[in-house]
Amino acid sequence: MMNNNLSELYGEDYTVASEQPEQFYWYETADGDRFGIRKSRLSHDEQVLLDALFPSKGIKENIDDTLQQKWASLLFNENMELPPLKEKKLRYIHFHLKEAPSDFSEFQEAMIGLFSTDVVFLFKNEKEGVMIQESIEDEHLIEELEQMAAALTADFFLEMSLFVGQVIHNTDPSNLLSTYQTEVKWFASGINLMPSQLVFTQTAIVPAILFSEASQETIHYLQTLIEPVSDDAELLKSIRAYLESNLNITLASKQLYVHRNSLQYRVDKFIERTGIDVKSFKGAVMVYLALYTLELR
């Protein structure tokens, strides 16, 4: 009855199937009947109203593609059939949204448009999903993902975290599934511990996993190591840059836009005040973990 009324109201702009599905917003009734209304026909208010009446819209619309279906079948339904692959390696880029997007197809379009190579895009639920990337380009990836997450926030007012998983060479379906499941768990730990982090990499997520199982006592102990400098934000930022530049003063000073002598002075000041030789590998590891505790929720 409802569908008849909608059909009457929207005339030719109402359909139940189309060869150009991207021109329509797709909805599903409580009985599972699917219908679409041409995007250009809907005003913003009408769209909001339809969204409220047919909340299941969106996710299913975006799993029409065969390749998407095959990946969804493997990763979400544990059906051990290998989706067709172009390459012999791949990786997952997991995403997590704070809120569900109001328009799934526009969001998907934006996400896919962010990559220069083909990705398979899957929503697991309204807020979580994964992109499967076969052509792996690492150059500037993290920086680009950070920019893209910020751009999506600006355009959709949605906040997002991403986790770039490991490069998988063993494309056996069981390995693809188990790696996916492990990474989902790791990503959840990372988000829980560091909710403001935009992009997680393996190197950032491993300490998060260690800390998810660490006692308060351990975390407190690590924090006390850098307590003498804990209120000096600039010094801590400098030490972090120094560590992340592989203890290379020249490189780190360029990143911080300071003279290398200034950074050298700050490193010496850190050693003098904490008593930890951050220039040694062991000292650096300990300070890195201690700095990590400052980011924990």
Partner 1 sequence: MAEIKLNHIYKRYDNKFEAVKDFNLDIKDKEFIVFVGPSGCGKSTTLRMIAGLEDISDGDLVIGEKRVNDVAPKDRDIAMVFQNYALYPHMNVYDNMAFGLKLRKFDKKEIERRVMDAARILGLENLLDRKPKALSGGQRQRVALGRAIVRDPQVFLMDEPLSNLDAKLRVQMRAEISKLHQRLQTTTIYVTHDQTEAMTMATRIVIMKDGVIQQVGSPKEVYDAPDNVFVGGFIGSPAMNFLRGQLEDGYFKMNDLKVKVPEGKMKTLRDNGYTNKEILLGIRPEDIHDEPVFIESSQDTKIEATIDVAELMGAETYLYSKVADQDFIARVDSRSDVHSGQNIELALNMNKCHFFDTDTEQRIY
Q: How far is the CB of 243 from partner 1 (least distance, A)?
A: 19
DSSP at 296: -
Of 194 and 284, CB closest to partner 1: 194
Nearer to partner 1, 80 or 157 (CB): 157
CA distance 222 to 152: 36
Q: Which of 116, 203, 215, 246 binds partner 1 (CB under 8 A)?
A: 116
Nearest to 67 by CA among 119, 22, 14: 119
Q: Does 115 bind partner 1 (CB under 8 A)?
A: yes
**51 near partner 1, rule: CB under 8 A:** no
Q: Among residues 25 and 180, whose Cβ is nearest to partner 1?
A: 25
153 is a site residue for partner 1 (CB under 8 A): yes
Taking CB under 8 A as the rule, which mask of x and - marks residues 204-223 in contact with partner 1?
--------------------
Give SS3 for 140: coil
- Give me the least distance between CB of 79 and partner 1, in Å please: 32
Nearer to partner 1, 33 or 155 (CB): 155
Per CB under 8 A, does 52 bind partner 1? no
Cα(152)–Cα(63) distance, rounded to whole angstroms? 21
The encoded tokens of residue 128 equal 């979580």
CB atoms within 10 A of CB 184: 18
- Closest to partner 1 by CB, 59 vs 158, is 158
Please pick, from the candidates 114, 142, 243, 247, the single residue that binds partner 1 as defined by CB under 8 A: 114
Question: Among all chains, which residue has been given the structure tokens 């950074």?
Answer: 263
The answer to the question of residue 232 lying near partner 1 (CB under 8 A) is no
Give CA–CA dist 81/94, Å, rounded. 21
**Residue closer to partner 1, measured from CB, 28 or 106:** 106
Q: Is 106 in the site for partner 1 (CB under 8 A)?
A: yes
∠ Cα 161 110 33 (to 5°): 100
Instruction: In whole angstroms, give the CA distance from residue 57 to residue 257.
Output: 49
Does position 113 bind partner 1 by CB under 8 A?
Answer: yes
- Rounded to whole angstroms, the Cα distance separating 190 from 295 reads 11
Q: Of the two residues 102 and 171, which places its CB atom closer to partner 1 in the complex?
A: 102
Among 7, 56, 73, 147, binds partner 1 (CB under 8 A): 147
- What residue type is assigned to position 285 of the chain? V
The answer to whether 126 and 100 are in contact (CB under 8 A) is yes
In 3D space, the residue among 82, 52, 50 whose CA is nearest the CA of residue 67 turns out to be: 82
Pick the stretch among 29-37, 49-57, 80-88, 109-117 that binds partner 1 (CB under 8 A): 109-117
Sign of CA dihedral 65, 66, 72, 77: positive
Site for partner 1 in 233-292 (CB under 8 A): 233, 257
- In terms of DSSP H, where are the helices of 20-114? 44-53, 66-75, 104-112
Q: Is 78 within 8 Å of 33 (Cβ atoms)?
A: no
Does residue 151 interact with partner 1 by CB under 8 A? Answer: yes
Site for partner 1 in 65-104 (CB under 8 A): 98, 102
Task: Provide the binding-site residues for partner 1, judged by CB under 8 A.
Answer: 39, 44, 98, 102, 106, 110, 113-116, 140, 144, 146-151, 153-157, 159, 198, 233, 257
